[in-house]
Amino acid sequence: MIALVYEMAFESFFQVIKVEFGNEFVQTVFTGLTLDSQI
């Protein structure tokens, strides 16, 4: 339940960053975060 809320908040937060910084930046950061979380 909490994870779902956190994920939704993260998504909306990411949408704001997309608008602010552009899609390429978001893709780079998201890839970095994903790799970090897998380690």
Q: What is the pLDDT of residue 2?
A: 84
Residue with tokens 């978001």: 26
Residue partners of 18: CB distance under 8 A and separation at least 6: 26
The tokens describing 8, both together, are 């939704």
Q: Over the stretch 1-39, which tens digit does the pLDDT of each residue have?
A: 788 888 899 899 888 878 887 878 878 887 887 777 765
SS3 39: coil
- DSSP for 1-39? -HHHHHHHHHHHHHHHHHHHH-HHHHHHHHHHHHHHHH-
